[in-house]
Amino acid sequence: MNHGRGRRRRLSAEDVATLMDQARQQIAKNLGISPDRIRYGPMENNRPGRLNTQGDHWQIHYQGEWKELPWHHDGPLQVTRTQVRNWYGDTKK
């Protein structure tokens, strides 16, 4: 029985692509970098993520290569430049 709640609409592939692009744009904005340096997908050579996670990951082009975006318990929109530097080292040394 529905109990008065509206029926949930499934997101189309286009809706998902739009939401993922908006997230990519916002992550880049939060980090102060070009959105071209953020992507979502499988890690190169299908290697696991830093926390031994499998599948698609948010990634950042950092120090000349694609690397997993650092993990944040509140999600990728909360990752900071400081956190990226702490995970991968500061390139200004």
* Segment 30-82, tens digit of pLDDT: 999 999 999 999 988 888 787 788 889 999 999 999 999 998 889 899 999 99
Q: Is 29 domain-assigned?
A: no
* pLDDT tens digits along 69-82: 998 889 899 999 99
Q: Are strands 38-42 and 56-62 parallel, antiparallel or unpaired?
A: antiparallel
Domain count, the chain: 1
Check: CB of residue 83 under 8 Å from CB of residue 70.
yes
Q: What is the rounded average pLDDT of the residues 9-14?
A: 90
Residue 14 lies in a domain: no
Q: Look at residue 50 in the predicted model and tell me its pLDDT.
A: 75
Is position 7 within any domain? no
Domain with 45 in it: 37-93
59 inside domain: yes
pTM: predicted TM-score of the whole model, two decimal places:
0.80
Asked if 37 and 86 touch (Cβ cutoff 8 Å), the reply is no
